[in-house]
Amino acid sequence: MKKLDRSFYERDTLVVAQELLGKYIVHKIKGKELIARIVETEAYKGPVDKAAHSYQNRRTPRTEVMFGPPGHAYVYLIYGMYLCMNIVTEEEGMPCAVLLRAAEPVEGLDEMAQLRFNKTYKQLTRSQKINLTNGPGKLAMALNITREDNGLDLCAEKMFICESDSDSNFFIGRGKRINIDYAEEAADYLWRFYIKDNPYISKVKE
């Protein structure tokens, strides 16, 4: 699988968010590869987006990585317990990112099952298999993404995104982003993108 280069991420965030669908995220852990197909994303455009941590170019220790070069990981904690994996987009100095909201497990299934449920993949119920990676916190846990990965270069060798070598003929749905009711008019932006009918997308009311 061909790794995406930095020029892929150095584009408009809404374009990147859609074109990440169907791509593979690969995380190398102790000689093993955990691989999942990205099926749902959300775009965040800091300068104009009240839902973004970097709204109005707010620069803090937390958001600093968003101002850096594109193609780096922005990992942060929500609700004091769940991590979210984002990818920095657009040119350096423009604090934008794409949240990886859900993915479809592809390789390293036993490792993912152990990380999420402390079971082998075969021991999981059908519901648990679907719930492995169908949300941002679940995805980060299953792929063993930690706070230490914040700022990681996704054009290097530890964690990266690859082109899809499988079926790319799918329909893209779009809707409102999830759990951002505080963001006033930005809560209505249709900046969430997903592969229609994929069983691993978040369960939300449209």
pLDDT tens readout for residues 166-206: 667 899 999 999 999 999 999 999 999 999 999 999 976 54
Alpha helix segments (H runs only) across the chain: 6-9, 13-19, 109-117, 126-130, 136-142
- Within a domain: 136: yes
DSSP states of 31-60:
TEEEEEEEEEEEEEEGGG-TTSTTGGG---
pLDDT surpassing 90 at residue 78: no
- Within a domain: 57: yes
pLDDT tens readout for residues 123-178: 999 999 999 999 999 999 999 999 999 999 999 999 999 998 766 789 999 999 99
Question: What whole-number distance in Å separates Cα of residue 184 and Cα of residue 173?
Answer: 23
Q: Is 77 exposed, middle or buried (0-12, 13-18, 19+ CB in 10 A)?
A: middle
Range of the domain at 105: 6-195
Task: Give the SS3 label for residue 102.
Answer: strand
Q: How many domains does the chain have?
A: 1
- Within a domain: 205: no
Single pTM value for the model: 0.95
